[in-house]
Structure 1
Amino acid sequence: MSKVPTATLNDGVKIPKIGYGLGTANFGSECVPHVISALKTGYDYIDCAEMYGNSKSFGEGFEKFGGKREDVFVVQKCGANGKESHPRKTLERLLKEMKTDYVDLYLLHSPLLTKPLSLSEAWEVMEEIRADGLAKSIGVSNFREEDLIELEKTWKVVPSANQIEYHPYNFHPANMQRLLSFMKKHSIAVEAYGPLTPLTGAKGGPVDEIVKEIAKSKGIEESQVLLNWAAQTTQGVVVTTSTNPERQKIQLEAITKSSHLTEEEIDKISEAGKKKFFRYRMTDVWDAAKP
């Protein structure tokens, strides 16, 4: 089993370059067998969220798997639709469900889900959580450039990561490019979720044939091509999921085995992606963004 490579966040914390998510196919459902399968396959990063409603599955799954807590990187996110979420109270509750004393990375799930706190107030609580050791690193998710600029006014700790939907059909608009530039300036890592969207939610687009050709020429899966495109263009982290053990293995091997794309291959995918726009998650956030 190949070891998962890591990236170093701006606070020095090392994060595996691919994570297994408890959202999407696992969303809202008990998924203990899938957590165990992912861990056995070799994933050492499990991505959880209050919104997914299944954090207990990590606690039960990891307990049955029997590994050492320090050997798995756990991400948790605060915020759920229709609920007020105080970052500390939420994390304290989730830690009990997950049967752990801390998370490795704790994120604000959306700039629209911090009420009754403002963004800056919520981030101040996040900084206190980090200082108290309940989270080794703190960041955000689905934050736009303007949201990060708002945090910048008062932050003492720069977010270490921003987990965003990222694939060839949504990386190119001006608001996304502004966001990526701001993140690069402050060394805020991209955690790319939805990297396989051209194969799942947006089939039949201009990227399809290029991805097929590259996969065939390299002797790899199309999903592995897209995972590498996301990982290489961001130099960050990809988060993916599957309830199928074989698919879990294929996706993990996109990052653990040598299937990197050439610059020419990356450019071909990027240029094709610019011919279409598609976003399928957190559209309420982006609908409120600057054009």
Structure 2
Amino acid sequence: MTIVKAPTVTLNDGTQIPKIGYGLGTANFGKDCQAHILSALSTGYEYLDCAYMYGNSKHLGQALGDWKGKREDLFILQKCGKSNGTAEEKDPRKVLMTLLKDAKLDYVDLYLLHSPLLFDDITKAWTVMEELKAEGLTKSIGISNFREEDILKLKESWEVVASVNQIELHPYNAHAPNMVRLLSTCKDLGIVIESYGPLTPLFRSPGGPVESVVQQIARSKGVQESQVLLAWGAQFTGGVVVTTSSKKERQQLQLEAITRMSPLTQDEVDQISEAGKGKFFRWFMKDVWEQARE
């Protein structure tokens, strides 16, 4: 089958990012994922979503060494921070230099602060991020798992606006008051949303009110339920979705939800969103959100 390139989203600094990324977390977390990366690249993924916390950047380097493509054809994202990290692991510069060395890269396309709780002072960390961007070690800078209050704190002193906020987002948490405010703030500031955990209603919280709606839409379109939720994740915010799988056939299905499947109608997007209001569920970074303002 001919590979179809994923459409892109233009970030607030002019950088273009594919609308779907292959993640090295969850199923790949802390594992030798070299074969999975090569499989994803051969399937047609152009965006690899990585992090210091995942502990597998050396495997990324090994995969890129075996890959026959060009570095400039890939979009590589890295994140800084680690739970109970040392002083060095809280330093965006030191972490990025380690990640670049491990993956045998000269630069990354996008570099994120992984969580506001992983740094003693997010404003100081952001200043370092701005320096790294100015030096060309990363083309763009952004944040992950940042709440509205964290963004407003950064906004008081930043010189470069975050290009993305990568967050857990699916129909079961999109309606939470603090999430609604967060999405509104990001939209106002031109911060693109990257949604991870988009398949949560099927795999981490099955049997809820979203499932029957997604099943009906999937049948009507002749596609998989997972593809419908991936499409919802991209269309609900107009942003990017990040997903993963160790199985090539699922990698293919997930990619095709963005590259080949016809978009959901606005009515279908709204049906899924409305069904999601019947349940609240969050799986990732609960320590961040437990401290969030409702």
Within the candidate set 95, 101, 109, 1:104 is matched to: 109
The CA deviation string for residues 148-183 of structure 1, in whole angstroms up to 9 with x for no partner, is 000000000000000000000000011001100100
SS of residue paired to 1:77: strand
Aligned residue for 1:114? 119
Within the candidate set 84, 87, 92, 2:97 is matched to: 92
TM-score normalized by the length of structure 2: 0.97
Aligned residue for 2:214? 211
SS of residue paired to 1:40: helix
Within the candidate set 119, 127, 131, 2:130 is matched to: 127
Runs (5+) with no aligned partner, structure 2: none
Runs of at least 4 residues of structure 1 off by over 2 A? none
Alignment: residue pair count: 289
Aligned residue for 1:225? 228
Cα offset for 1:267? 1.1
Q: How does 1:76-87 map to 2 (within 5 A)?
A: 76-84=78-86, 85-87=90-92
Runs (5+) with no aligned partner, structure 1: none
Root-mean-square deviation over aligned CA pairs: 0.6
SS of residue paired to 1:112: helix
Cα offset for 1:259? 2.4
Quote the Cα distance in structure 2 between the aligned partners of 1:174 and 1:198: 19
Residues 1:253 and 2:282 aligned together: no
Aligned residue for 1:37? 39
SS of residue paired to 2:60: helix
Aligned residue for 2:58? 56
Aligned residue for 2:9? 7
Asked if the contact 1:228–1:259 (Cα under 8 Å) also holds between the matched residues in 2, the reply is no
Quote the Cα distance in structure 1 between the aligned partners of 2:75 and 2:54: 18
The CA deviation string for residues 25-73 of structure 1, in whole angstroms up to 9 with x for no partner, is 1111110000000000000000000110101111111111121110000
Asked if the contact 1:74–1:103 (Cα under 8 Å) also holds between the matched residues in 2, the reply is yes
Using the aligned pairs only, state the percent identity: 62
Name the amino acid aligned to 2:244: T
Quote the Cα distance in structure 2 between the aligned partners of 1:82 and 1:144: 20
Name the amino acid aligned to 1:259: S
Cα offset for 1:3? 1.0
SS of residue paired to 2:77: strand
Quote the Cα distance in structure 1 between the aligned partners of 2:65 and 2:282: 36
